[in-house]
Amino acid sequence: MNQKKTKLLIPSIKKESIKVLKAERDGTLPIPGTLENIKGYKSLTIYKMAKSTFYYVRLFEERKVIRKSTKTDNRKEAIKFAERFFVEVKSKVLNKEPLSSKSGFEVCALGLQKENSSRVERGELSEKKLANDDYRLKKDILPFFRKYEVAEINYRLINDYIQQLNNASAERKLTSTSLKVHLSHIKTILKYAQRMEVINALPAFPSIKTVDRPRSWFNSTEYSKLHNTARTHIGEDFSIYSSKDNSVLRKGTLTQELYDLILFMTNTFIRPTDIRVIRHKHIAIVKSEQVYLRLSHPMTKGHAHPIVSLPSGIEIYESIRNRQRKDGFGKDEDYLFQPEHSNRDYALQQLHRQFDYLLQITNLKNNL
């Protein structure tokens, strides 16, 4: 049996039309009809993009695509700019100079990191912040923005970046607070570019609403219960059990040090991260018109200002130091808490395990 072949009628779409659609979706793609090769110059082209009224010049050199805004919407002026740009790039190649444009976003981002490295050396910035910024740059910010000039960064691009982070996998879903950190980092880079006179003004930034989640705290009754239990249970052994088979993972003991730590923190206002770095040499006893401890420990979480304690902080500190001296510690270079452990992460773990057990026996853990 012969079957008649029927043709499926599909509307034809010209390649140029597809390119126009792509150019509209992505404002950084060349607009068809504006892409023009400059005669006599290999791979040198000028073109326009939907996101800008200016012509851009593009050149392929040493396996890289180098592009730059001509800062003009006049075709003849753009061609002259492209010719000068070609000579500039070739000169850099001959002199073995970097091809990156001084106004490139990546150049400014790395320039800011270099400036911040100097601030770390001067004690103005923490090493942790510098490391966090470096990680954020390499993982997210530069992969998205490195192909742009600083002057190209606008509200739409920044908003697209935030949207990309929002669309990340569920395992890496960033909170609104984390997204604000990314925005702050980008703004800091652009401010650096402004200081370097690469741009004159900053673009508008998207706003992100955050939900205020205040940290848990102890009221006066809970605090009394906490430190009284810590005092009466000094020397009590405890075990940490596995959540899988209830086997004993490790054992510990509630110590006098935990009780001292609770009193010291509440009378000096230091944060848990400060415990990692504070030594006896960072503490000064001031007895003048007012009586207090002055804590001048290294920067933690970006804070390096001295802390002033309540007057009762002096008695608590002197008690800690006298007790430590009996055990061979208490010297200026010794840490104030867990001085026997040079590994400060391990030292904090030891105190955390004790505090966690204390919360369990006071029935305060579930309330946090």
pLDDT in tens, 46-88: 999 887 889 999 888 877 788 888 889 999 999 999 888 888 8
Average pLDDT over residues 31-55: 87
The Cα diameter of the chain in Å comes to 113
pLDDT at 25 over 60: no
What's the predicted TM-score (pTM) here? Answer: 0.48
Give the residue among 290, 307, 289 at the shortest CA–CA distance from 298: 307
pLDDT at 237 over 90: yes
pLDDT tens sequence across 334-367? 999 999 999 998 999 999 999 999 999 998 876 5
How long a stretch of residues is the chain? 368
pLDDT at residue 240, as a whole number = 83
* Mean per-residue pLDDT of the chain: 83
Give the residue among 301, 320, 309 at the shortest CA–CA distance from 260: 320
pLDDT tens sequence across 290-325? 899 999 877 665 555 788 999 999 999 999 999 999
pLDDT at residue 11, as a whole number = 44
Lowest mean pLDDT among 21-25, 38-42, 200-204, 205-209: 21-25
C-alpha triplet 269, 270, 275: angle, nearest 5°: 155
pLDDT at residue 199, as a whole number = 81
pLDDT at residue 249, as a whole number = 82
pLDDT at 93 over 50: yes
| Percent above pLDDT 70 for the chain | 85
Average pLDDT over residues 137-162: 89
Average pLDDT over residues 38-48: 88
pLDDT at residue 365, as a whole number = 77
| Percent above pLDDT 90 for the chain | 45
The more confident residue out of 6 and 147 is 147
Which DSSP letter does residue 148 get? S
pLDDT at residue 315, as a whole number = 95
The more confident residue out of 323 and 147 is 323
pLDDT tens sequence across 189-221? 999 988 887 788 899 999 887 665 666 778 888
Contact 278, 268 (CB under 8 A): no
The more confident residue out of 128 and 264 is 264
pLDDT at residue 104, as a whole number = 77
The more confident residue out of 63 and 130 is 130
Three-state secondary structure call for residue 64? strand
The more confident residue out of 118 and 40 is 118
pLDDT at residue 6, as a whole number = 45
The residue type at 367: N
The more confident residue out of 100 and 146 is 146
Annotate 29-62 with three-state secondary structure.
Answer: CECCCCCEECCCCCCCEEEEECCCCCEEEEEEEC
- For 244, the token pair is 């899988």
pLDDT at residue 349, as a whole number = 92
Assign 243 a pLDDT band (cuts: 50, 70, 90).
confident
Distance CA 72, CA 134 (A): 35
